[in-house]
Chains A and B, each alone.
Chain A
Amino acid sequence: MEDQTTVKPFWNSYVAGVALGLVLLTAFVVTGRGLGASGAASRAGITALNAVASAHVDNNKYLAKAKADNRHPLDSWFVFMALGVILGGFVAAYSAGRLRREVIRGPRITARSRLLLALGGGVLMGIGARLALGCTSGQALTGGALLSVGSWIFMMAVFAGGYAAATLVRREWL
């Protein structure tokens, strides 16, 4: 293992991009599917809700879909992929000396506010991803490489939304 005190630099962006593209290509070629991350979040949420209010989940047509065929909501392709992402991310961070408990924030914001904003932004992304049938991984990246019309519309919209809101949360980052 690497020395924890020396932090390795990030990869060159284009090299990282090609590597990411090859991972995506492998997924396409071997499994006929792309990548995804938000689906796992949805499954995790439904699992938690199901534990406290199972009947409520059954009554909601959308949520109940995760339990179709009497499967556990976590018995899903994308949940296992997410587990892999956590594992891969952990190994990469650890071996590069970047494994550290911290809150990433700009100089003008408290950690508390930053965490609240992170939560709020996450909620928005959860809603947006379900509405668009995927997030930046499942829709923009996967569908983008397949030249899917909806995915390219989605991708443009993500950047548009991000740039539009960036001026409002400038204090959070700069």
Chain B
Amino acid sequence: MMFPFDFIGAANREVGLVVAMLIGIGFGFVLERAGFGTARVLSGQFYLHDLTVFKVMFSAIVTAMLGLVVLGGVGLVNLPSVLQTAASGTFIWPMLVGGLVLGIGFIVSGYCPGTSLVASASGKIDGMMTFLGVIVGSVLFGELYPILGSFAQSGAMGQKFLDQVTGIPRPLLALGVAVMAIGMFFGAEKVERIFRRRRGLDVDGDPAPKTAIWGRFAFAGMGAAAILGVATLALPESTRAAGGKQGPTIAKGKTYSLISVSQLAGRMVKHPWSLRIVDVRPVKLCKAKTLPGAECMPKAKLKELNLDVGAGSRDLVLLCRGDIVKFPRVALTYKGRVLVLKGGYAAWEAYALKTPKAPGDNASPAAWSAYRFQSAFHQSVTGRKTAPAVKAAKYVPKRKKKKRGGCS
């Protein structure tokens, strides 16, 4: 079993929404207990006498970052898949300006959007006003989109991650971030002390001195997780293939198999959801004519499909012009079975697009059965009703229940 589950998919939508709500409950509960339900704590960050925001936020980032690195490293979580679904693309300019605007709004309102919800839930009228403002601002942005739209798209880099940019392996980078964060926590304690004294506040202001010892455990936990994350680099390739490494890897001994066009047609009728058909011919050919439900992606660009991402619950079927000449290795990064259509598009054309010829009177029942299926398939693909009536008398007595029966 590999995480994450595919909850958000249309089939599981209701389950996904319930899970979203449960996670939200945890989120809201922790935010409140951290002190984020009151603007007094949040605003303190910007006058330096209460750095709870920094401390909580960075402990959370470090925890989740290390957790992903460790779970991905041991192959429990498909890290590339999580990165792809959970991270937004990077748009440098709108993120810089959006951040500045949000930061100004943060200190003016005393909340951020999430904490304003928590504040509202704990009865703070200013929290409610803030969230109302966020609603108004969001709609206002939509209204201004015709003007702001092009700026909102500027500096687009796609999904970019710090390990790609720096070239440092993610576990090492995570260790670095964790060490830096812990160093900054000690700095933050000092700064807090200085500014609390300056404002005449209680210097030993830790509101929960009894739990301070748990803070030490938190640090120790982060340190241990960071080391564990780096240690996963030493695991064999196959374990990490799932998540620890950037970029696709191919499982050892994995290869592709051939599928005949009649087998493929059978599966297209019976369980089309079990197939992922990719037409690797030049785009022009594919755009003109291809199999129903096939994706167009020329062989040279196959990498762009990120085939390594996802659980690979469907079988991947590649389709060339004829028999495959040079198999694209990158297709083997796909987690599920990889099939290649025997005879390629030419075989498809011959099987599905041409009117099938009826076998002779002496043909075996199997041949007749295959013919019946093929002509039905031909009809459904082309819409042509050209199949001649079949001679029932000859084969009905011997008729066995065939797996690929056309209209059973």
Contacts and interface: CB of A to CB of B under 8 A. Distances in A.
Interface of A: 9-38, 40-42, 44-46, 48-49, 60-63, 77-78, 80-94, 96, 98-105, 111, 114-166, 169-170, 172-174
B67 interface: yes
- Looking at B43, B107, B141, the one whose CB has the most chain A CB atoms below 10 A away is B107
B161 to A, nearest CB: 5
B24 A15 contact: no
Contacts of A105: 39, 126
Given A18-B221, A132-B99, A148 B47 contact: no
A20 to B, nearest CB: 4
Interface stretch (B206-214, B266-274, B324-332, B394-402): B206-214
A153 B92 contact: yes
13 contacts: A11-B33, A16-B59, A20-B63, A24-B63, A31-B8, A45-B138, A85-B114, A89-B121, A126-B105, A128-B97, A133-B94, A146-B86, A161-B101
Contact of A147 (B33, B46, B60, B161): B161
B234 interface: no
Nearest to A125: B105
- Looking at A22, A41, A82, the one whose CB has the most chain B CB atoms below 10 A away is A41
Contacts of B373: none
A44 B19 contact: no
Contacts of B8: 31-33, 77
Nearest to B15: A31
Given A93-B37, A104-B40, A149-B165, 6 more contacts: A11-B208, A48-B139, A111-B125, A123-B105, A123-B137, A150-B160
Contacts of A163: 46, 103
B89 to A, nearest CB: 7
B130 A121 contact: yes
Contacts of A85: 24-25, 27-28, 31, 114, 117-118, 121
Contact of B185 (A14, A38, A83): A14
B227 interface: no
Contacts, number: 596
Interface in B43-61: 43, 45-47, 52, 55-61
A42 B357 CA distance: 60
B258 interface: no
Contacts of A34: 86-87
Nearest to B112: A136
Nearest to B33: A11
Interface of B: 3-8, 16-35, 37-41, 43, 45-47, 52, 55-65, 67-68, 71, 77, 81-83, 85-92, 94-127, 129-146, 148-149, 151-152, 157, 159-163, 165, 170, 173-174, 177, 185, 199, 206-208, 211-212, 214-215, 217-219, 221-222
Contact of A103 (B4, B37, B122, B126): B126
Chain B, interface SS category: helix
Nearest to A98: B122
Nearest to B156: A150
Contact of A11 (B34, B71, B157): B34
Nearest to A133: B88
Contacts of B123: 93, 99-102
A25 B38 CA distance: 25
Given A33-B85, A46-B142, A158 B106 contact: yes
A12 B208 contact: yes
Given A88-B25, A122-B109, A154 B86 contact: no
Nearest to B34: A16
Contacts of B157: 149-150
